[in-house]
């Protein structure tokens, strides 16, 4: 590093990688804080300020070097841009005190017009903003999409994959959601009591999708993005510790994420290639995290109703309790999946159930379960559908059919690690492989 506090030999690829990291981890925080200052109707403006700061990083860092603290650099540039905007735009003249406090680093501006200060309710800007995005004026599916796009840095393509829909549909949802917030002049304030609890389910769905993107990334070079999983766990932990979120299904989701995250270090080999559950070295599973997950699973049992999170956490607990793959209690796991599909008509849940069916009753029964999935057409662009079909056909000795499914899965897979695994499976099932 040079005396100026930058890495002078940074290449374009390094710059792009670090800017992408900041986009994922810092942009949402900045947008949350600026939206609190500007007002919810100016959410697009807050996004524009942060995007401009990121664009300046891409333009200047290749020439002047990457700052020693890239996140702080982007934060400072965003602050400067916001302050300049306020000075030029009379709409924000009454916000100068708020931005001044923000520039001083306190970050606790109340909104300047009698709104409830964020710290009075939940103590985390990004989580607070999720509750704001989940306003009842915005349709449920658009609430989650808006949170993922604005606060978690998801692309429209990633959101489309998560919802098994098209990018055009996601773009339309986002546009309509922002327009509703703007037209209604929704105040950037956090409601209390039952009103806040009604938004909780959408916030939990957003947090879980954030975790899932980290557990199995949909794009990029690494199949696992551990930092996203840990951020989702952190946000859910804040909720579970707060009176608003100290509810059974919040503890169930926290348990589920902890139990799954405990396996992260065992999910890939030394070269970053994905390992199946059967192949994983269970000695690498984080026992401390498993213990935390079990604690929150017990906490989740305090209520009278079982959510999908309860059932999924129970499945994760079955895997965590098994000494090895062969001792896994698949009958109990299938029982939980039967309950899940009775509550959730998601074709992905039904596909997961089919895997459990095959473990209990054999691959032929697994194939039959896949054929009977309601809404199976929604999975036609989902590579795991064909990977599962290929697995079942291979176990039945139908190698040509298996190879055909694996080739179809390969055409849909986007991650290098997934593609490498599928190419190996094709080689194992094709003649001469």
- What confidence tens digit (pLDDT) does each residue in 310-337 have? 999 999 999 999 999 999 999 999 999 9
Q: What is the pLDDT of residues 250-293, one digit of tens each?
A: 999 999 999 999 999 999 998 888 899 999 999 999 999 999 99
Residue 161 or residue 200, greater confidence: 200
CB neighbourhood size of 250 (10 A): 27
- 339 and 413 fall within a common domain: no
Model's pTM, two decimal places? 0.77
Sequence-separated (6 or more) residues with CB below 8 Å from residue 198:
136
Which structural domain range is residue 54 located in?
1-108
Residue 420 or residue 125, greater confidence: 420
Residue 179 lies in a domain: yes
- 83 and 33 fall within a common domain: yes
- 344 and 364 fall within a common domain: yes
- The residue-averaged pLDDT of 214-232 equals 82
- 334 and 386 fall within a common domain: no
Cα–Cα dist 222/203, whole Å: 26
Cα–Cα dist 143/134, whole Å: 5
Of 108, 136, 168, at which residue does a domain stop? 108
> Which run of H or E residues covers position 14?
helix 12-22
Residue 279 lies in a domain: no
Residue 176 lies in a domain: yes
Annotate 372-427 with DSSP letters as a single string: T-TTGGGGTT-HHHHHHHHHHHHHTT-HHHHHHHHHHHHHH--SHHHHHHHHHHHH
Annotate 206-242 with DSSP letters as a single string: HHHHHHHHHHS-SSSS-S--HHHHHHHHHHHHHHHHS
Three-state DSSP state, 182: helix
- 149 and 54 fall within a common domain: no
- Among candidates 162, 181, 233, which has minimal Cα distance to 204? 233
Q: Give residue for tokens 């551990």.
A: 226
Q: Are the C-beta atoms of 104 and 111 separated by less than 8 Å?
A: no
Q: How many domains does the chain have?
A: 4
Average pLDDT, the chain: 82
Cα–Cα dist 147/346, whole Å: 21
pLDDT at 368 over 50: yes
pLDDT of the residue at 19: 66
- 404 and 365 fall within a common domain: no
């Amino acid at each position: 590093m040079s005396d100026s506090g930058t890495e002078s030999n940074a290449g374009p690829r390094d710059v792009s990688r670090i800017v992408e990291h900041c986009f994922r981890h810092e942009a949402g925080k900045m947008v949350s804080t600026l939206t609190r200052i500007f007002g919810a109707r100016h959410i697009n403006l807050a996004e524009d300020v942060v995007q401009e700061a990121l664009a300046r990083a891409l333009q200047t860092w290749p020439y002047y070097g990457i700052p020693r603290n890239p996140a702080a650099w982007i934060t400072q540039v965003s602050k400067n841009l916001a302050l300049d905007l306020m000075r030029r735009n009379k709409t924000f003249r009454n916000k100068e005190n708020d931005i001044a406090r923000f520039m001083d680093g306190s970050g606790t501006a109340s909104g300047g017009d009698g709104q409830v200060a964020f710290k009075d309710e939940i103590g985390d800007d990004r989580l607070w903003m999720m509750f704001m995005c989940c306003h009842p004026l915005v349709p449920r599916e658009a609430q989650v999409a808006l949170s993922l796009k604005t606060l978690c840095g998801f692309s429209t393509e990633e959101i489309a994959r998560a919802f098994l829909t098209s990018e055009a549909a996601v773009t339309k949802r986002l546009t309509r959601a922002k327009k509703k917030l703007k037209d209604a002049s929704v105040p950037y304030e956090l409601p209390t009591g039952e009103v806040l609890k009604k938004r909780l389910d959408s916030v939990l769905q957003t947090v879980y999708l954030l975790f899932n993107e980290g557990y199995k990334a949909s794009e990029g070079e690494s199949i696992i993005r551990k930092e996203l999983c840990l951020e989702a766990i952190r946000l859910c932990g804040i909720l579970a510790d707060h009176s608003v979120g100290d509810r059974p299904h919040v503890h169930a989701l926290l348990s589920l994420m902890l139990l799954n995250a405990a396996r992260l270090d065992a999910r890939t080999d030394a070269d970053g290639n994905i390992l199946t559950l059967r192949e994983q070295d269970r000695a690498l599973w984080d026992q401390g995290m498993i213990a935390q997950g079990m604690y929150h699973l017990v906490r989740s049992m305090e209520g009278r109703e079982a959510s999908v999170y309860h059932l999924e956490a129970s499945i994760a607990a079955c895997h965590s309790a098994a000494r090895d793959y062969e001792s896994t209690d698949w009958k109990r796991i299938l029982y939980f999946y039967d309950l899940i599909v009775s509550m959730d008509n998601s074709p992905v849940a039904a596909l997961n159930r089919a895997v459990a069916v095959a473990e209990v009753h054999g691959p032929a029964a697994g194939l039959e379960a896949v054929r009977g999935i309601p809404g199976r057409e929604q999975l036609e662009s989902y590579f795991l559908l064909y990977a599962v079909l290929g697995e079942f056909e291979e176990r039945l000795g139908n190698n040509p059919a298996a190879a055909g499914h694996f080739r179809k899965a390969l055409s849909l897979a986007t991650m290098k690690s997934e593609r490498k695994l599928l190419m190996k499976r094709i080689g194992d099932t094709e003649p001469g492989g």
